[in-house]
Amino acid sequence: MSFLSWITRAIFCFCLMPGGPAAAAGDLDPSYASYGYARLTGAGAPGPQALTVLPNGSTVFAASRPTTVHDIVVGALNRDGHPDTRFAAGDLLQITSTGTLYRPLLRYDARTDKTLLAASDFRNGAYHLLLCRIRQDGTLDPTFSTAGYTSQTGCVSIPPPAFAASGILVAGLQPLADGRILVGGSAYNFTTNSFRAFDGRVTPLDVDPGQAPAINDVPNLDNVFINAVAFDAPLGDVYFAGSQRFVTGDSALIVARLGVSTIQTYLYNANNVANGSEEARAIVFRGSSEIYVAGTIETAGGKSDCMAFRLNRTMQPDFGFGPGSNGRRTVRFNGAALDSASCDAVLTDAQGDVYVGGRVGLNGDQSYEAAVAKLTPGGDFAANFGLNGVARPAGGLNPLRSERTLALGLQLGRVILAGPSELATGATPKTTDMVLARLTHADVIFDNGFN
């Protein structure tokens, strides 16, 4: 498998001045890969679904292939957007199972200077928790294990506890400075058709060989499906984001804070349509009190909107965020009235700005393209980013392919977005590519040798 770069549109001009092409904030970064885009063809993976930026500037990404090979592939790009030859010799690391792997998560572990991967591992009729530790050379760490459980070298597969007979689906991962690994997500029981929330702690053997993994049921949080989890490790709080369903068939966006002795929740049910669907898809914790959530809200006519929220630690809306002083902002990615928007990723930067990533429909949702919006700390669209605060790298010029943003990262202060690119009609794993793009963060002139 090889990386192929491509050009989707000319977003800069060659200026008659020293220094090379100019790019405005939110444009594709012409110093990254091929004019801002890196594309991996031939992997047949609907991703990347996760990425993490390492201190050495490398971007590690991962995608699952549940319908074909049933595995996960992990790769890396250097800071210039080209295959990082330090990682798997510039190729892909393959992580396998006797079952099927789903939805990888990635986190950098500063204690070991390695990358942690978590995924759901469906085997023997139930979802297990898969954890792996990856070295910077793109090989699995053979020293990584935990008490009582093993998988392939460098990974452990932890079976579900009794309260989740059908399995646990991981949605959050956080390494701690003491070596323990926090996890969280959904606990599933097929017999009762019930979803709950779980949190847990996994201790590697090199930290404490006698400490078995602990997977815990979260009390008073029933009929919820968790899509994302964030951890406030110093205080021991866990934040869950997803959807809660009701007996009427309706569902609401839910965010919950699990404290040491209490649980608090925030529900948002727009009721745009009867028995409509609202769900939180991403969550990030910033500073001492700010929780940002990105969710998708069903609207009339089978359409949807993306919405960003800011909550405080007590799960109350932060009224200093958003145009209506209600703690939320609708993000349509500049789509037309007949098009839908949805979001899957959120992150913040050191200045307090918020980035929301997802997709926007084209031509009445016949296809869609990746998009990212930049919001100010007050919840307004950043005037100095893209078009009215929204960047759409393809610019509507490639309607034959559908792309979306599933993961966001920051590298050199610039936003990286990652996700799949597939045929707008008749998509198959063979015609699905993985794409990473980097955007500029300020109006700059790049030195590319065309002086």
Contacts of 438 (CB under 8 A, 6+ apart): 28, 29, 32, 33, 36, 81, 411, 414, 415, 416
CA 441 to chain centre: 20
What pLDDT does residue 445 have? 43
CB 400, CB 424: distance < 8 Å = yes
- Residue from 237, 389, 206 nearest 311 by CA: 237
pLDDT value, residue 8 = 32
Domain spans, the chain:
45-222
pLDDT at 14: 25
The predicted structure's pLDDT at residue 418: 97
Neighbour tally for 396: CB within 10 Å: 13
Q: Which CATH architecture has domain 45-222?
A: 6 Propeller (2.120)
Q: Can you state the percent helix, strand and coil of the chain, rounding each to 5?
A: 5, 50, 45
Q: For the chain, what percent of residues have pLDDT higher than 70?
A: 93
Q: What is the DSSP string of 170-214?
A: EEEEEE-TTS-EEEEEEEEETTTTEEEEEEEEE-BTTT-TT---E
CA angle in degrees (0–180, nearest 5) for 286-319-253: 70
DSSP letter at 45 equals -
All residue ranges of the chain with pLDDT < 50 are 1-20, 444-451
- List residues bridging with 433 in a β-sheet: 421
Q: What is the pLDDT of residues 299-353, one digit of tens each?
A: 888 899 999 999 999 999 999 999 988 999 999 998 888 789 999 999 999 999 9
- In whole angstroms, give the CA distance from residue 287 to residue 294: 18
* Spatial separation of the C-alpha atoms in residues 227 and 35, rounded to whole Å: 33
Which DSSP string corresponds to 319-351? Answer: TTSSTTSSSEEEE-TT--TT--EEEEEEEE-TT
DSSP code per residue over 346-371: EEE-TTS-EEEEEEEEETTTTEEEEE
| Of the candidates 240, 165, 166, the residue with the CA atom closest to the CA atom of residue 200 | 240
**Nearest residue to 123 via CA among 152, 94, 163:** 152
403: helix, strand or coil: strand
